[in-house]
A and B are shown apart, each in its own frame.
Chain A
């Protein structure tokens, strides 16, 4: 059910309208799905519309194998002005929507929208935020969390994605939706993938299956078929100290040679930087360690000292070190 939850007048035209979709039994535990906090995070919006289509068909009975047992609430588009302008931030105030939580119902547009999201999701049991990488980067599909307690780990396991990255705590986190949901005891995860202003259908499909699996595992969605899955995806949990950033030592045009979501060997070439005037190769970017390539520079123009890639490294178990285990 599509429902208008907030109307905000605009100075010169039609009002801004915030909508939420709701499916399932309101008496049961609810899952909140939020995308479009930044106007250029289109991947999450696409994922949300895929889920809307699927849940509509489940409720209508087009998927006879599925029954919706819990409740799902989705906000596909939050930062309405930014999305209308095709920009990350709302141009009128330049405020970062994800630094405006918990918001203020009497405040300006961004604050009022943030407040509406909190109000309409406060009673949810789980919360998933669907986002893309920061500007200029691409993310492999992965889960981000602010904490890694047992409940969050269970949530991550049920999402069946291989990569779970715990974020470094930062003062700015306190005004994000993820942090505010945690303050409401909502089990929260951020699903990040792709790059701003683009939609990667393959990555969306990965995350779509991940969320469907999560809903089945948590009993939100019942699948009458007794299908045994062959895949046994176990997540790797990466604490902040396992992040390895690879930096540019020169400025110019970065030409990548690898893809996100792939394992990287120590010494492997990540790409190169070329001078904008002469075309000369200024630097070859080499992986300082082995790891999983989580984030890669997408926009080629780079400044000196900018991070070009993030590798997630795993501590080796003693089994990998002992010679007779090899």
Chain B
């Protein structure tokens, strides 16, 4: 393993802020792809951090066994100060790094960081995986979200990653300043994995994704394949019309009655919403299907998402 600092800035009080790339490479002739794994753009999303930690351990062993056929680059902490303080944003600047990518931003330390990261990924990757957990409010089943424009290229790769579902959704302007969109626009296929909830580690989900990434590395020829994996999930492929979102009809406290990953029937109770006048309203599933997003943080505003359901196709 070789480690290289790709961005550094001195802080006023002590050690510098550094973004480190750890690289694992084939000793002999490289025939496989160069795959990059990025995590920690949002400092409160810790699943990716754990996944990368585990993968780095495995990759070290595999590198020693000469099992690498390509290159794997791991960027385990893309926003170090946010990770240190457990915040989504880079705390000193209140900036969401994943809204600063793109060629024409004005000067700030945050945009300098995003430029350095984007440039390094572009010059070292044939394929990128960007790990995210959900925000403070929602728990997500392991999934890969793909913008419709990149569906053809990304879905076959996403199917290798052992996630529960692949959600193809329409493009929105807000995505244009994200790492994933910028890399995909630069024709470097980039998968954005979303799993769990922020500030926590769901070990089951992490193990599931670790297996998926190893499978991805093997299937893309980056890592030698010892024997075919039989335990890889066949994810549900969802088009935009196959996702039902349940939004909160009012502000209040949402108390869930179900668990994520459950198969719901139309009319099933998802939970109760207690509003400020102490009125309680049942939240009901509008359709049958797989519950893949569920609100964990009870306080909710009007219009906030409470659940997402992968709509079950009726024959």
Contacts and interface: CB of A to CB of B under 8 A. Distances in A.
Contacts of B251: 8-11
A111 B105 contact: no
A261 interface: no
A302 to B, nearest CB: 7
A99 interface: yes
Given A11-B253, A108-B301, A172 B108 contact: no
B162 interface: no
Interface stretch (A211-219, A225-233, A248-256, A315-323): A248-256
A11 B301 contact: yes
Contact of B247 (A106, A109, A174, A243): A106
B101 interface: yes
Interface stretch (B148-156, B169-177, B209-217, B285-293): B169-177
B112 interface: yes
Nearest to B7: A305
A88 B89 CA distance: 12
Most central of B13, B102, B301 by chain A CB within 10 Å: B301
B17 interface: yes
A303 interface: yes
A171 B101 contact: yes
Interface stretch (A18-26, A122-130, A162-170): A162-170
Interface of B is mostly: loop
A168 B92 CA distance: 24
Interface stretch (A28-36, A89-97, A263-271): A89-97
Interface string B1-42: 000000001111100110000000000000000000000000
User: Which residue, B9, B100, B182, has most C-beta atoms of chain A within 10 A?
Assistant: B9
Contacts of A303: 9-12, 17, 92, 109
Given A170-B177, A245-B107, A252 B12 contact: yes
Interface residues of A, number: 46
Interface in A39-93: 88-89, 92-93
B250 interface: yes
Contacts of B244: none
A109 B301 contact: yes
Contact of B303 (A94, A109, A247, A302): A109
B96 to A, nearest CB: 7
Contact of A251 (B9, B89, B96): B9
A239 to B, nearest CB: 13
A288 interface: no
A250 B105 contact: no
Contacts of B300: 11
Interface of A: 8-13, 88-89, 92-94, 96, 99, 104, 106-109, 111-112, 134-136, 167-172, 174-175, 243, 245, 247, 250-253, 276, 301-307
